[in-house]
Amino acid sequence: MDGFCEPYWDEETQQWLYGAAAREKRIKELGGVDNIINEAGRVGGEAALEHFMDSIETEKRNNFRLVSE
């Protein structure tokens, strides 16, 4: 099941929203579909870059150990 369709308490209207109404409210609060996609891409890109930089640092450390032994 789509987690965005789970029941949602709407503070603005003081009522529970279900299904598509809950999904639409969550999407609206997150700035719309385009913003959600952009944010997911940004976060994913940052995570990939961090992983890459960590792997370079690990490789440098491993190479240093091999040379210095």
Residue 44 has pLDDT above 90, yes or no: yes
**Looking at the structure, do residues 11 and 41 belong to the same domain, yes or no?**
no
- Structure confidence at residue 55 as a pLDDT band (50, 70, 90): confident
Task: Output the pLDDT for position 64.
Answer: 59
Residue 69 has pLDDT above 60, yes or no: no
Residue 24, both tokens: 């639409």
**Looking at the structure, do residues 22 and 10 belong to the same domain, yes or no?**
yes
**Looking at the structure, do residues 26 and 38 belong to the same domain, yes or no?**
no
Residues in contact with 66: Cβ distance below 8 Å, sequence separation at least 6, in sequence order: none
Q: The tokens 């930089």 sit on which residue?
A: 53
- Structure confidence at residue 1 as a pLDDT band (50, 70, 90): low
The Cα–Cα gap between 58 and 50 comes to 12
**Looking at the structure, do residues 16 and 37 belong to the same domain, yes or no?**
no
Read off the pLDDT of residues 7-19 as tens digits, 9 standing for 90 and up: 999 999 999 999 9
Task: Output the pLDDT for position 65.
Answer: 56
Provide the 3-class DSSP secondary structure of residue 10. Answer: strand
Range of the domain at 42: 33-69
The Cα–Cα gap between 31 and 34 comes to 8
